[in-house]
Each structure stands twice: as C-alpha cells, then as structure tokens.
Amino acid sequence: MSRSIFVAHFKQTVGKAPMEYLSQWRMLLAANRLTRSADSIVTIALAFGYESESAFSTAFKRIMGCSPRQYAHGCRPADHPQLAPATTFSPSESV
C-alpha cells in the first residue's frame, strides 16, 4: 500500500491524519503520566522524546489546549473539542 493511500484510508477511518492522531495519543499518554505520577514535567518531557521542558510544553499546549502545569491542576482534554474523537479510550501508559 502506498503512503498516500494509507494516509487517505487512515483519515477516512479515524477522522484524522496519522501524525495528528499519533501526536494526540502521545500527549494523552503524557497527560496521564502528569496526573498519575510524581514525575516532574522535565522528566516526562524527556521520557516522551522531547529535548527540553520548553519544547514539550509548547507541543502539549498546542495539542491539549493548556500547559502541562495547568493540566496537572485541572485542565482536561474534554474541555477541548479537537481531542474529542481521541478521548474515547483510556490510555494505559507503558513508557
């Protein structure tokens, strides 16, 4: 299957492009870790492949609609309609 056919089929099936879906999934896993562990934001950022807390915070805010610190204090994906299709699961973190 070609890459362009895969992307079109994935988007038709899931409703999002593969990279958008993956980015949201990754941030939902990070959000889960923010609320369920005592790890610092920088530790979580490094665990999810970001080189700095700043880069992670920028990506997190773009995708989740609030900063990691705000998320840890009550901001939730359900507050952000762009995440609605991806929040039908309960991510269990294995990272």
Could you tell me the pLDDT band of residue 51, with boundaries at 50, 70 and 90? very high
Alpha-carbon 12 to chain mean position? 21
Residue ranges making up the domain that contains 44: 3-88
Give the number of other Cβ atoms within 10 Å of residue 11's Cβ: 14
**pLDDT tens across 14-42, in order?**
999 999 999 999 999 999 999 999 999 99
Say if 95 falls within a structural domain. Answer: no
- Looking at the structure of the chain, the number of domains it has is 1
> How far is residue 77's CA from residue 86's CA, in Å, rounded to a whole number?
9
Q: How much is the pLDDT for 93?
A: 46
pTM of the full predicted structure?
A: 0.74
**pLDDT tens across 70-91, in order?**
999 888 766 555 565 444 444 5
Say if 51 falls within a structural domain. Answer: yes
Q: Taking Cα atoms as reference points, which of 32, 67, 62, 27 lies closest to residue 48? A: 27
Say if 20 falls within a structural domain. Answer: yes
Q: Taking Cα atoms as reference points, which of 43, 49, 95, 40 lies closest to residue 72? A: 40
Say if 94 falls within a structural domain. Answer: no
Say if 49 falls within a structural domain. Answer: yes
| End-to-end CA gap in the chain | 30
